[in-house]
Structure 1
Amino acid sequence: MKKVLYVPSPSEAVENKYTKIMYGFLGLLDDVSIFVLPKGRLNKLLFLIRSMTVDRFSYVIINWHENLMAKNGKIYFLGVLKFFVLFFVFRMSSRRIIYVRHNFYPHGMRGLSKHVASRFSDIIEAWSTIKVCHSPHLVEKGYSYVPHPLYPVSESDCRFGPEHQQDYFVVFGSIDRYKKIEYILEVWPPNICLVIAGVSKDDSYLSFLKELAKDKDVKFYSEYLPETVAQGLLKKSRGLILPHQSDEMIVSGSFFYAASVGVSTFALDSPFLSWMQNVEHFSGIKVFDNEEGLVKYLGQLTGGGRTSEGSRIRFEANKMFGKSKVLESWNKLLIIR
């Protein structure tokens, strides 16, 4: 039986649906026992000491380890120390480390900090046994590819969105500065409805966006939306907009959320999304070089019904990112006891 420690645990990342889904998938694998770190600092310490001295794991799978270095958009010493020390503890606790690279550096990092954080992540990655990513375009750089999982879709038909609006597009997810939503608002036309939905922890940025949206048909839902409500908002829309062309991101969780519910995504160009459009020919993605081209294209779609058939998008997404594909990829990686 292969013993696998999964970090972080779903209980420590309650707002991250990915963690719960991937942890659940790994628990379905034959000949695998999945573990997480216990709650409480003392319990964690005792647990890791035991794993280092008595009962080592076959694998430790680490996610978002680079976030330990980030504080208020900058790298800080104690975070870097924890980043390296905890990695070496995991290394001593297991025979093999699997480092899952979600981002090149933590979201929102600026200036020199992002380059230093990226370099430190590269070092940890090199010291790992296997490095994993969710984009096929990085396989040529030595990564093992595991598909990003899809999200569970509610069967209930929750209708939520702008009243009496047949055509609207959605910017969905946390409202953060690194997403550069202002670039879309600056060129957004007054005759197309846009919904910006997601929790905002930055009141000044939210106020800035609302000021930009004056005299435009833009609606904000900046509170937490229950799962059925969020999915209803997307299902009823004409499509999801990814407004940022961020160099730290490898893939976007919002893209997989839209694909899960069968909604098209319109985005600025990125290596992963270009791969999806030009190599995989996924029908639920359309990429653009700039915001002006994206908005102009959306203007041509209004009044013409749904941009793509939802069932087709869901079918194609399930073929590429469904549970069986994710399990198949992990089975190939976890081959040694």
Structure 2
Amino acid sequence: MLRAALYSRSAQTDARSQSAGRCSADEQTLHSEPDQRLKIGYVPGFADENAYVQRTQDALAHLGQVYPLSPSTRSLWRMLQFRPGFFDVIIVNWLEHKTANPATGKLSLPGIIAYFVQILTFRILARRLIYVRHNIYPHHAESRCAPALTRIIDLSERLYSATATHSGHFPDKHYIPHPLYYEQPMMSKTGKDRHFIVFGRVMPYKNIEQLIDSFPVDQLLIVAGPCDDQEYFKRLQIAAQGKQVEFIPRFLSEEEARELVGTARGLILSHADDDMIVSGSFFYALSLGTPVIGVKTPFFSWVQQALAVQGLTVIEDLQSIEAALQQQNSPPAEAIVCSARQYFSLATVICYWKKLFLQLQVQG
């Protein structure tokens, strides 16, 4: 599965023009020869179920030679094949996941130690170390452990050369656009279907149960994605009784995912907790020209203020979902993809990475 304030008109225009002007990308970027002298380590190196990793590595391959590196602590010994300073830059994703115990959600002392050991190891191997922060704290963490984990991860940022995120609302971090998964709208003979969809792993933090409770009975909702918590899944099934809710509790093939999301009237993002920065499902829907309905988050507020992305409807809470479906912003698929490409195309992603490398004086 592929792994989602009101401004005056003049202020919105100014903000959008500033955002669009930060990095000028064109087709020449995609066809330029990479600097093969630049050695770029990337963590995690291989993620079969995560197209984001592949798309990002595709972008970085235009800037140098990409070396896939394992995020596993047990694989540290393999790093001995590289001399100190071998890499010009190493880019790290999701390494902080191990700071919380995956079974209990509590702080993991061995995981925290391993996290810092890995950072220090990467610092020895690379001239520059970049942390891409996808979450404020791990999704699976207990809520009462969230403040401590946030402080630990904030502290760890001091060991990196720079921290990047996929949202521009952080003034102290470098903005790198999240890549689109595709850059052409899905070709469908029948157009959009009548269903709405929740897409991705089914987990309690996504507030799907609350969405089902508020979802109108005359609309069809498909919840597609595996669920490891069977008790939670049973609660969802009970909440869905008497409503048009269909579950597909498994990984979807790429073809199935494209069909379900690409023909949906809208993809719904019901998660607005403090841990998430952006959702990959948002970019997946835009890639296919599917409208998105999302509960208000700092990221969505920034998108509305700074970017002219079409097809996004933002609601204050899940209790507003019925009204949102009736007043949904649904431009043509081609218009959604065209607007998304302005900000999240592969050429734009390459341009932003190149700009960050120049700022950090990353050179071969």
TM-score normalised by length of structure 1? 0.89
Residue equivalent to 1:67: 97
Measured against aligned partners, the alpha-carbon deviations of 1:270-323 in whole angstroms (never above 9, x if no partner) come to 11111212331321211011112222221455xxxx922100000011110001
Distance in 1 (CA, whole Å) between partners of 2:271 and 2:178 is 20
Measured against aligned partners, the alpha-carbon deviations of 1:210-262 in whole angstroms (never above 9, x if no partner) come to 10000001111112211111111112211001111121111110100000000
Correspondence 1:104 to 2:136: yes
Distance in 1 (CA, whole Å) between partners of 2:189 and 2:92 is 38
Measured against aligned partners, the alpha-carbon deviations of 1:52-102 in whole angstroms (never above 9, x if no partner) come to 54x521111111111021222222111111111111111111111101111
Distance in 2 (CA, whole Å) between partners of 1:41 and 1:297 is 45
- What value does the CA root-mean-square deviation take over the aligned residues? 2.3
Match of 1:315 among 299, 318, 338: 338
1:41 Cα deviation (Å)? 7.7
User: Secondary structure of the residue that 2:282 maps to in structure 1?
Assistant: helix
Distance in 1 (CA, whole Å) between partners of 2:272 and 2:72 is 38
Residue equivalent to 1:144: 174
- 2:106 is matched by which residue type in structure 1? K
Distance in 1 (CA, whole Å) between partners of 2:71 and 2:120 is 20
User: Secondary structure of the residue that 1:334 maps to in structure 2?
Assistant: helix
Gaps of 5+ in 2: 1-36
Residue equivalent to 2:23: none
Identity of aligned residues (%): 33
Match of 2:204 among 177, 181, 195: 177
Correspondence 1:330 to 2:353: yes
When structure 1 is superposed on structure 2, of 194-203 and 107-116 the one drifting more is: 107-116
* CA separation of 1:175 and 1:38: change in aligned 2, threshold 3 A: closer
Gaps of 5+ in 1: none
Residue equivalent to 2:124: 92
Residue equivalent to 1:2: 38
Residue equivalent to 1:196: 223
Distance in 2 (CA, whole Å) between partners of 1:153 and 1:332 is 22
TM-score normalised by length of structure 2? 0.82
Distance in 1 (CA, whole Å) between partners of 2:262 and 2:50 is 21
Q: Is the 8 A contact 1:192 1:299 kept in 2?
A: no
Aligned residues: 321
1:152 Cα deviation (Å)? 2.9
Distance in 2 (CA, whole Å) between partners of 1:333 and 1:278 is 23
Residue equivalent to 1:294: 321
* CA separation of 1:166 and 1:65: change in aligned 2, threshold 3 A: closer
The structure in which a higher percent of residues are strand is: 1
Distance in 1 (CA, whole Å) between partners of 2:184 and 2:356 is 31
Residue equivalent to 1:215: 242
Distance in 2 (CA, whole Å) between partners of 1:317 and 1:9 is 27
Distance in 1 (CA, whole Å) between partners of 2:303 and 2:143 is 30
1:200 Cα deviation (Å)? 1.1
Distance in 1 (CA, whole Å) between partners of 2:218 and 2:78 is 58
User: Secondary structure of the residue that 1:287 maps to in structure 2?
Assistant: strand
1:134 Cα deviation (Å)? 0.5
| Greater RCO (Cα-Cα under 8 Å, separation 6 or more) | 2
Measured against aligned partners, the alpha-carbon deviations of 1:181-209 in whole angstroms (never above 9, x if no partner) come to 01111111211111111111111111110
- 2:200 is matched by which residue type in structure 1? G
